[in-house]
């Protein structure tokens, strides 16, 4: 009984090890380069020598807005009276929802 459980555990460990053995990628193990990122030195140099990658408009902290419009939108959201979005479609026919008591054809 004890020997059977030991063999089952050993078999499970060997099966787990064999399953993990399939995870190795031989291509990366046998690659002839210094590192995995080798080959993109030109792009690295370009990114390194950029002084300020952000456009000038990104530094503008004085953003114009319409306070009254924002207040009205906040009030509609708070009272759950938001307007439904208009859907875009390629059809020029306006489809209407059937009445609540109307039979469906």
User: For 9-61, how does the pLDDT look when each residue is reduced to its tens digit (9 = 90+)?
Assistant: 999 999 888 877 766 665 555 666 666 666 777 877 888 888 877 888 888 88
| Domains of the chain, residue spans | 1-32
Give the residue carrying structure tokens 């792009």. Answer: 43
For residue 86, give both structure tokens.
Answer: 């208009």
* 3-state secondary structure at position 8: helix
CA 81 – CA 79 distance, rounded (Å): 6
**pTM, to two decimals:** 0.26
36 CB-near residues (< 8 Å, 6+ apart) = 28
């Amino acid at each position: 009984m004890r020997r059977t459980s030991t063999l089952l555990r050993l078999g499970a460990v060997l099966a787990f090890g064999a399953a993990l053995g399939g995870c190795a990628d031989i291509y990366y193990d046998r690659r002839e380069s210094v590192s995995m990122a080798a080959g993109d030195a030109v792009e690295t140099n370009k990114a390194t020598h950029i002084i300020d990658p952000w456009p000038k408009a990104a530094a503008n902290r004085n953003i114009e807005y319409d306070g009254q419009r924002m207040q009205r939108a906040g009030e509609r959201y708070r009272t759950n009276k938001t307007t439904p979005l208009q859907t875009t479609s390629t059809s020029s026919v306006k489809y209407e929802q059937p009445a609540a008591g109307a039979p469906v054809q």
